[in-house]
Amino acid sequence: MGFLFSKQTYDPNHDIPDLTGKIIIVTGANAGIGLKTVEQLARHGAKVYLACRSEAKATAAIADVEKTSPALKGQQRLIWLPLDLSSVHDAKKAAEEFLSKEHRLDILINNAARLVDNYVIGKEGVELNVAVNQFGHFVFTQTLLPLLKETAKRRDADVRIVVVSSDAYLNPGTTKFGSLEELNDPQGPPGKENTTQTKMRRYGTSKLMRQFHSATDIGVVHQ
């Protein structure tokens, strides 16, 4: 409900500094907040990797940005990075692919998320909210962290990791994070796994885990 009381004090068209030469990754970049973030960063000179699963959606997103900002067309500063956050193996592979291509990383924006959805155990045995919103992002970030730290040593550096979260973390499920079985708890009795309440609990749990990760590890980059 904060939007009822807030006012716009930040104008991205004017307040974002020149980002020429900077390299940025945005997860979940093909739609919504992620797509608009990509557009603004690219407009200000950055080379931006759109980290998402679907090549078709990434290509469409790039075309959309280039249509809105024609000056970006042909500059090769918008690049798809295949990323499936439901698998820690695939998340690590995506990060390693990026590391094979680039020698700096200035900003990592962890924006992607599985929203309120039905109860599903993913291919690696983890409930998908936890897999996508926490485990996948954790492995992706940790694999990229050495390069972020190296980039931070440069004179022109202003390195940071941005974690997009939600107030849903204030209302998590009842897990104690003690085991995979607890993390896979549907937060409701059999037959009630997909009520609005149980979906919100699972989503809230994954967002709380994201808060923990941000508080413990990520703050070491931006000084």
pTM over 0.85: yes
Spatial strand order in the sheet of 160-163: 78-82, 47-52, 23-27, 107-110, 160-163
Q: Residue with structure tokens 């291509």?
A: 101
Q: Give the angle 101-107-110 at the CA atoms, nearest 5°.
A: 100
Domains of the chain: 15-166+211-220 (3.40.50.720)
Distance of CA 198 to the CA centre of its chain: 23
Q: Which residues are the active-site residues?
A: 203
- Tens of pLDDT, residues 39-76: 999 999 999 999 999 999 999 999 999 999 999 998 99
The phi and psi torsions of 2 (rounded to 5 degrees) equal: -60, -25
Which pLDDT tens digit goes with each residue over 145-204?
A: 999 999 999 998 999 999 888 776 667 778 777 788 888 888 888 888 888 888 888 888
Q: Are 90 and 84 in contact (CB under 8 A)?
A: yes
